[in-house]
Amino acid sequence: MAMGTFAALVVGMAAAAALGQEAPAIRTQGGVAQLIVGGKPFLILGGELGNSSSGTAAQADEILPKLARLHFNTVLMPVAWNQIEPEEGRFDFSILDHWIDVAREQKVHLVLLWFGSWKNALSEYAPAWVLADAKRFPREIAADGTPTEILSPFGEETARSDSRAFAALMHEVHGRDAQQQTVLMVQVENEIGFLGVGGRDRSAVANRLFAGPVPAALTAYLRTHEAEAPGEAATPINPAGHTWKEVFGEAADEAFMAWEYGVFANQVVKAGKAEDPLPMYMNAQLPAPFERAGDYPSGAPLPRMQSVYRAAAPAIDFYAPDIYWPDFEDWVARYRAAGNPVFVPEARLDLAAGNALYVYGEARGFGFSPFAVDSLPADGTGPDAGIVGVDAVLSQLSDVILEAQQQDRIRALVLHESSERPAQTVALGGFLFRAMLAHTWPARQLAASDGAMMVIERGAGEFWVVGSGLTVSIQRDPDTDDQAAQIVSVDEMTNVNGQWVAERRLNGDQTDQGRALLMDAHAIRVYRVRMVTYARQGD
């Protein structure tokens, strides 16, 4: 080897080492779980693609540059089993490879969504050679004895074939991307669960296993992890029982399916992790209030099934909710209380602006990703495009947010006219921030039907507030001391070439004569608020 080549190799290796080549991982520090990429915490400003948006290479050329321009730093994209393994044992990664190349060029990361045996609980993305052989790849049987079109988790060949395809996928990703780390994480299957009356597969093998004892590994786990999902009803009602009904009562069908799907997914994930140790998670479709298991996918990784999944699938890193229901904050809190890092892989695009601030600020989440972001117009405007303005600002504040998350110096809230909650308060740094939806002045009519803010404590008495649509009054928190407090200054901040500068000092009518922060009704802005505290007169 010529000296020059050797020197170049050494420099290259040193540079690679300096890049911090350990795979992306979840790290919990200061009570907050963050995603570590290249040795540093990373905030996923994500967006998931529509289901039919990543089936060709050409779609990457159109979609990824647009999403990069709209400030998404991570795109969640489906990878379909039937696309990568059209014939058994023959793999074709040409489309995925192109997506990775274009993502890298555009400086966006990817999270891959493995649409394997199940997507929305159904099996549409399995290859034709799987769907054509119900003997080798058995289907779930409905309560009336008729076979469904859905692959059964009891199919051993199905688990083997799905795992082999997933391992091939991760082998490809590792070979192509271990250095660059364009791909950050992988979702395994999609919204798993049994759909149908009775809430479980009624095949002969399923019936036999359901009539038998709960596996010893599960009961042993339940005995030692009783309080794993506090406040969640179904896991378990009686860990000392033997049959599924004795242990789980009315949730027996659901717990039984959760165990089987968990065991299946664990096999898939283990095969994938042997090729590439990226974080791997599962998502869930959430039930409507009072909905029965089977009407929603029964055996999904819901908080109440968390212990069953943890016992069945220790290789899965965490579980994440797809939140389309109005009680967004509640679902985030439930997954978090069950011990998961906070990552929301799917959510409503039209409500994404406020919910993003909530996830990063209040739940100290590492990622949020509204669904169907490729449907946004290229100029980033329109009724669903609020997230574009939020991500534009958050991409400039990521490091500040990540540090504030670790130090517990960040809060957030969301208000909607429709939720009929007139005001809400967060406490931070010795102050109470009480927010109401913004009103016009002097007519005092509602100026915004949605509002949200993230509050970051940046120094003693200095807070940065990011958001829109709210009027915020700030007072001393009486639990801190008995001082009084007053706003000293409010500045609208802007980022010029990486430096934050005050663009406008707000006062007079724009602060209700110094009494409140009056946010813009619609545009996301960053405000710097300085407070003073003082002893009350006569104290």
Q: Which residues bind ligand DGJ (CB under 6 A)?
A: 51, 120, 190-191, 322, 346, 371
Provide φ and ψ at 125, rounded to 5°. -95, 0
Q: What value does the CA radius of gyration of the chain take, rounded to a whole number of Å?
A: 25
Which amino acid belongs to residue 30? Answer: G
- Least spacing, CB of residue 109 vs ligand DGJ, in Å: 19
Alpha-carbon distance of 293 to 298, in angstroms, equals: 5
Cα 329 to the chain's mean position, in Å? 13
- Least spacing, CB of residue 346 vs ligand DGJ, in Å: 6
- Least spacing, CB of residue 91 vs ligand DGJ, in Å: 23
Closest to ligand DGJ by CB, 172 vs 322, is 322
Alpha-carbon distance of 105 to 124, in angstroms, equals: 32
The count of other CB atoms within 10 Å of the CB of residue 31 is: 9
- Least spacing, CB of residue 111 vs ligand DGJ, in Å: 13
Closest to ligand DGJ by CB, 120 vs 511, is 120
Closest to ligand DGJ by CB, 297 vs 451, is 297
- Least spacing, CB of residue 48 vs ligand DGJ, in Å: 7
Closest to ligand DGJ by CB, 84 vs 393, is 84
Beta-strand relationship, 343-344 and 410-416:
unpaired
Alpha-carbon distance of 455 to 467, in angstroms, equals: 9
Alpha-carbon distance of 435 to 529, in angstroms, equals: 14
- Least spacing, CB of residue 115 vs ligand DGJ, in Å: 8
Stated as kind and residue range, the H or E segment containing 491 is: strand 484-496
CA torsion through residues 132, 136, 141, 145, sign:
positive
Closest to ligand DGJ by CB, 151 vs 466, is 151
Closest to ligand DGJ by CB, 106 vs 283, is 283
- Least spacing, CB of residue 34 vs ligand DGJ, in Å: 25
Closest to ligand DGJ by CB, 66 vs 119, is 119
Burial class of residue 192, CB neighbours in 10 A (0-12, 13-18, 19+) = buried
- Least spacing, CB of residue 332 vs ligand DGJ, in Å: 17
Alpha-carbon distance of 375 to 104, in angstroms, equals: 21
**Closest Cα to residue 74, out of 343, 361, 378, 402?**
343
Closest to ligand DGJ by CB, 201 vs 346, is 346
User: What would the DSSP string read from start to end of 300-312?
Assistant: ---GGGHHHHHHH
Residues 182/68, Cβ–Cβ less than 8 Å: no
The residue whose Cβ lies closest to ligand DGJ is 191
